[in-house]
């Protein structure tokens, strides 16, 4: 119930003085920032350009003509990465949620599954993704099981999903554990069963809380789909590799890197904003 | 009058700390029992044990003659008959006021949505909160939040209402709007057990006042006797300290 600002108000002479001083200070700070940026960037660029190998590097990494030529194949490969990211991301979400719920349940009937979920998370969170991709990509076809496709894209996706499910499960679980026990007490004292409490009270709050770290994992997922190239999937990385090894010009790698950055930088900016909003909201609800 | 709640020789400890020591209590229908005592005297633990949020180490608790301290009892069914309001409100921050109130009637009692909403709106109107129905809890004042929390437990038509220091987190101006609801409920004949530090309020609503110290009831009787003419020296000392803090 703050009072309306008086419309007849005009700043006092002291306030006008202060505004002038503030303006001078910020002008000086802007000058300092500009000078220091020019100095640092200028030094970096001049070191690069005057280095003895620059002429060669420029030709083999930054050949604009060749970059244009390979662009269509790299972008076609990137489409594979995006598909893997979205299809994989969906599967990861479902599996991770199940794992997180299993790990936090106290139901005695689910004890063996809780055990298995813990073991699963330990294994797939602890082993390097690239090893899992190699083991699944080459190991599963060797089993010669009927009905399981030996398509490398499929197997690569499975490997990525297996690993990321473990990461994401832990993120969701930490969200579940971060909900204050008083929320559970309130829900249970209303007669809600433990399952209903999880579904209607704990999980909605937990998921909201972990959206920023999940977005972070989503960015990593997009980058890590590039690793399935080691199975021979023609994604953006592999497409670049093929072109580079054909001509010994590495511009395709730079093209692929720029393509990834064009997608991941906006995503990380968005994630940062989500994290900031989340922490603002949390401080606003301090009374609860 | 039959006792809604009967507690006999209840014992509860957390590790080596004895919190409830051989405590007995009977709460007849339509009466309000007020628990007073210093922090750590066991008031909250007693309420949490009644609501089966904590399990007891010994003794028995009966609700309408049925032993609810039996480990084989369906705890969800028992809690449906008990309303509990907490010091820290514990509203669900991701749900609106209306959704907070209708959640349990819909999911626990299986009421259809329209009926649950109608009943919730009637309660909100009765306690002057109808305009807050679609707000989220963090937009409300502490007093409003606590009133919503009380309404949330009333929506289940509880047999017994447990109020755990419901005004301790509120500033003095907001305390009254919460206590007036409790006075209303008392005159409606709601059976209640409440822990409070508001001695003036205790005098108004209590049919029986119990003074707890170290997990036991040292003195019990009418508000007039216990609060204004205490016999036990420990009660006298506690009330003297409350008085010095300006709360009597």
Whether the predicted pLDDT of B239 surpasses 80: yes
Is there a contact between A119 and A103 (Cβ–Cβ < 8 Å)? no
A44–chain B nearest CA distance, Å: 50
Option in B90, B104, B138 nearest A191 (CB): B104
Residue A40 C-alpha from the chain's centroid: 29
A210 close contact with B: CB closer than 8 A: no
Per-residue pLDDT reduced to its tens digit, B92-111 = 999 999 999 999 999 999 99
Option in A190, A193, A201 nearest B153 (CB): A190
B244–chain A nearest CA distance, Å: 28
- Using the beta-carbon criterion (under 8 Å), do A190 and B51 form an inter-chain contact? no
CATH code given to domain A61-276: 1.10.3720.10
What is the value of ipTM here, to two decimals? 0.89
Whole-angstrom distance, CA of residue B185 vs CA of residue A93: 47
Averaged pLDDT for residues B64-85: 93
A205 close contact with B: CB closer than 8 A: yes
Whether the predicted pLDDT of B247 surpasses 80: no
Per-residue pLDDT reduced to its tens digit, A78-90 = 999 999 999 999 9
Whether the predicted pLDDT of A288 surpasses 50: no
Nearest to A220 by CA among A151, A271, A154, A254: A271
Taking CA atoms, what residue in B is nearest to A201? B92
User: Which pTM does this prediction carry?
Assistant: 0.83
A&B contacts, CB < 8 Å:
71
Number of Cβ within 10 Å of residue B51's Cβ equals 22
**For chain A, what are the domain ranges?**
12-45, 61-276
A182–chain B nearest CA distance, Å: 6
- Using the beta-carbon criterion (under 8 Å), do B138 and A284 form an inter-chain contact? yes
Per-residue pLDDT reduced to its tens digit, A47-105 = 999 999 898 888 889 988 898 999 999 999 999 999 999 999 999 999 999 999 999 98
Mutate to test the interface with A, among B104, B149, B169 (most CBs of A within 10 A): B104
Whole-angstrom distance, CA of residue A192 vs CA of residue B39: 29
Domains along chain B with CATH numbers = 3-81+159-244 (3.40.50.300), 93-157 (no CATH)
- Could you tell me the CA-to-CA distances from B221 to B37, B228, B235 in Å, in that order? 14, 11, 12
Option in B84, B108, B153 nearest A192 (CB): B108
């Amino acid at each position: 119930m703050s009072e309306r600002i008086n419309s007849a108000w005009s700043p006092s002479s002291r306030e006008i003085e202060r505004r002038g001083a503030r303006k001078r200070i910020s002008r000086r700070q802007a000058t300092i920032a500009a000078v220091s940026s020019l100095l640092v960037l200028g030094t970096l660029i001049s070191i690069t350009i005057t280095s003895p190998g620059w002429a060669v590097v420029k030709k083999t990494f930054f050949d604009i003509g060749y970059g244009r030529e390979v662009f269509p194949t790299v972008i076609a490969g990137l489409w594979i990465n995006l598909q893997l990211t979205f299809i994989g991301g969906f599967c990861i979400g479902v599996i991770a949620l199940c794992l997180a719920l299993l790990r936090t349940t106290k139901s005695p009937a689910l004890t063996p599954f809780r055990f298995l979920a813990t073991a699963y998370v330990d294994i797939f969170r602890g082993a390097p993704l690239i090893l899992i991709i190699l083991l699944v990509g080459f190991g599963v076809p060797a089993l010669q099981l009927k009905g399981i496709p030996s398509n490398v894209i499929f197997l690569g996706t499975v490997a990525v999903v297996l690993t990321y499910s473990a990461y994401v499960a832990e993120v969701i679980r930490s969200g579940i554990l971060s909900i204050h026990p008083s929320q559970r007490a309130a829900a249970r004292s209303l007669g809600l069963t433990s399952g209903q409490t999880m579904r209607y009270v704990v999980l909605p709050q937990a998921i909201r809380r972990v959206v920023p770290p999940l977005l972070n994992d989503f960015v990593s997922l997009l980058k890590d789909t590039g690793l399935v190239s080691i199975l021979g999937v023609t994604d953006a990385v592999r497409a670049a590799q093929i072109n580079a090894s054909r001509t010994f010009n590495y511009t395709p790698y730079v093209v692929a890197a720029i393509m990834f950055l064009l997608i991941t930088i906006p995503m990380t900016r968005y994630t940062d904003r989500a994290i900031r909003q989340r922490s603002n909201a949390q401080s606003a609800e301090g009374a609860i | 009058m039959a006792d809604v709640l009967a507690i006999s020789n209840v014992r509860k400890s957390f590790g080596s700390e004895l919190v409830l020591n051989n405590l007995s209590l009977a709460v007849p229908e339509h009466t309000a029992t007020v628990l007073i005592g210093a922090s750590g005297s066991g008031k909250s633990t007693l309420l949490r044990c009644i609501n089966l949020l904590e399990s007891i180490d010994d003794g028995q608790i009966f609700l309408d003659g049925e032993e609810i301290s039996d480990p084989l009892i369906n705890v969800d069914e028992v809690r449906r008959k008990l309303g509990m309001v907490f010091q820290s409100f514990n509203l669900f921050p991701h749900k609106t006021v209306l959704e907070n109130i209708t959640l349990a009637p819909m999911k626990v009692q299986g009421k259809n949505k329209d009926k649950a909403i109608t009943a919730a709106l009637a309660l909100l109107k009765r306690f002057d909160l109808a305009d807050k129905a679609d707000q989220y809890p963090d937009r409300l004042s502490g007093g409003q939040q606590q009133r919503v929390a009380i309404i949330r437990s009333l929506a289940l038509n509880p047999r017994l209402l447990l109020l755990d220091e419901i005004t301790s987190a509120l500033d003095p101006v907001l305390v009254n709007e919460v206590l007036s609801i409790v006075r209303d409920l008392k005159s409606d004949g709601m059976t209640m057990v409440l822990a409070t530090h508001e001695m003036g309020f205790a005098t108004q609503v209590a049919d029986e006042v119990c003074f707890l110290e170290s997990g036991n009831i040292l003195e019990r009787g009418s508000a007039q006797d216990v609060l204004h003419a205490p016999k036990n020296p420990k009660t006298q000392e506690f009330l003297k300290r409350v008085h010095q803090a300006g709360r009597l």
